[in-house]
Amino acid sequence: MRRLVIDTNLYIDWLNAGRHEGVLFQRAAVKYLSAVVMLELYAGAFSPRDRRIVRRVVAAFDRADRILAPSGAAYENTTSAGGTRRSLGIMAPGVVARVSSCC
């Protein structure tokens, strides 16, 4: 059986407009929730209703023990803008990756 980690934009489209149900609810795949996607969904849930919906989605994955947390090495590789692209060798020409500091 295929294993899928669904990206945030698909969940947002589904929550807002009911799109991508074929991907999100396909029976021939085991879905996992990335902890990064979970945090992004919570970050965009502004109303109490939205937060309840996100909590329900997260709770379903939590009950099934299907929440994935990136390893420290994954964060190490992406601590600068474009880190993932750079690690894949697809950095755009002329783009300089840097970490900006706030505060």
**Which value, in Å, is the radius of gyration of the alpha carbons in the chain?**
16
Regarding pTM above 0.95, the answer is no
pLDDT tens figures, 6-45:
999 999 999 989 999 998 998 999 999 999 899 999 999 9
Query: Do 82 and 91 meet the contact criterion of CB atoms below 8 Å apart?
Result: yes
Among the ranges given (23-27, 65-69, 99-103), the one the predictor scored with the smallest mean pLDDT: 99-103
Pick the more confident residue, 70 or 65.
65
Whole domain around residue 38: which residue ranges? 2-69
Tell me the C-alpha distance between 70 and 36, whole Å: 8
| Domain-embedded: residue 33 | yes
Tell me the C-alpha distance between 20 and 14, whole Å: 6
Domain count for the chain, please give it: 1
Helix (H, G, I), strand (E, B) or coil at 37: helix
